[in-house]
Amino acid sequence: ARAAKKKSSAGGPTPVRVTPQVSVPPPVEAVPWSQVVGRRAKRAAKAPPAPPTPPQQPASKRNRGAAVLSRPPRSAAVTLTVAPGGDKTYAGIMATARENIKIEDLGIAEVRPRRARTGGLILEVSGPGREEKAEALATRLREVLKDGVKVAHPSKYGELRVSGLEDSTSPEEVAAAVAGAGGCPVEGVRAGVIRSSPNGLGTLWVRCPLAAARKLATAGRLKVGWVAARVEALKARPLQCYRCLEKGHTQHRCTAEVDRSRRCYRCGDSSHRAGQCPAADPKCPLCTDLGRPAGHRLGAKACAPPPKKGRAPPAQGRQAETQGGGAEKRPSKDPGRGEAMITA
């Protein structure tokens, strides 16, 4: 019976297992993301492309450490300084000037007053032809104010080092070449003494108007006779008092008790000047008095550091004039570093 069942089962059809179908959802279409663009990005996209930057020339080894001269001022100035101990005041001299001078006749619409570090009064003239207008104003002020008042038309100067000079060159020849190439009057050029450099050629210190100094320093060379001398700009000297030899103030506002104005800048002796110093080794007079290492010239890198910067006390004003002669009180603290103005 079992064999029959097996036989009957073996002879019948084999059942097929049916797998149920699973419904697959249709694919979802990819929706692109929208990016929010800010206003700055929109303006940047609308702006025209910037022009390509020209390739910069690599600086030479000699010019990498060269000093950079400041830009010429945008205004010309006339300074008024009342003699100390006199009976004139700045209020009085300005009243006299306004009564006798019409600046409109000189082509000047207005002036900008400013107080100098020395206590004097600065009148700034701006606009085209400012140098000529300032000189005309200074001339009229000298005619009106006369004695007891120093009137000057100051200018900013730059210092240069002219090197590579041959033996027959004179300082006057270099000054004339500086005036011709810089476009300034030769009277505004000051040249020192030609000294021998380690390479055996001459080196000369020159001071000239700032615009001319910038022009010559940019050129880098100056034709002097047969030679194309090398021109380098020198760093601007810090504000220094020529009474105590310390930095950060002028002699008109000096509070030091020591007077070093007659001492040699190189050796500290009072019998000669630095230009005629016979000493073999330098000895800084300021560092000697302060007990610091003094084996250098005054103003060298190893010299005594300047005082800390701070706000300068108010210079000579209306209250100081009531004491007579415009004499100012000496401040209790030294003012911070500033820029000295060299009068022509």
Where in the chain are the domains? 75-152, 157-233, 238-305
Model confidence at 232, pLDDT cuts 50, 70, 90, reads very high
Does 157-233 match 75-152 at the fold level?
Answer: yes
Question: What Cα–Cα distance (Å) separates residue 16 from each residue in 7, 8, 13, 23, 102?
Answer: 20, 18, 9, 22, 123
Give mean pLDDT, residues 140-146. Answer: 92
What DSSP designation does 99 have? H
Q: What is the pLDDT of residues 82-120, one digit of tens each?
A: 988 788 999 999 999 999 999 999 999 999 999 988 789
Question: What Cα–Cα distance (Å) separates residue 255 from each residue in 69, 191, 291, 294, 330?
Answer: 31, 33, 20, 23, 6
What is d(CA 184, CA 218) in angstroms, rounded to the nearest whole number? 16
> Exposure of 167 by Cβ count < 10 A (0-12 exposed, 13-18 middle, 19+ buried)?
exposed
Q: Under 8 Å CB-to-CB from 1, ≥6 apart: which residues?
A: none
Q: 157-233 in CATH: which number? A: 3.30.70.330
What DSSP designation does 307 have? P
Cross-strand partners of 77: 124
- CA-based nearest residue to 201, from 161, 163, 162: 163
Q: What is the pLDDT of residues 279-326, one digit of tens each?
A: 888 889 888 888 888 888 888 877 866 555 544 444 444 444 444 444
Least confident of 16-30, 163-177, 320-334: 320-334
Q: pTM, whole model, 2 decimals?
A: 0.57
Model confidence at 230, pLDDT cuts 50, 70, 90, reads very high
175 pLDDT exceeds 80?
yes
More confident residue, 163 or 298: 163
Long-range contacts, 167-176 (Cβ 8 Å, 24+): 167/202, 168/225, 169/194, 169/202, 169/224, 169/225, 169/227, 170/194, 171/204, 173/224, 173/225, 174/204, 174/206, 174/222, 174/224, 174/229, 175/206
What is d(CA 90, CA 236) in angstroms, rounded to the nearest whole number? 31
According to CATH, the topology of domain 75-152 is Alpha-Beta Plaits (3.30.70)
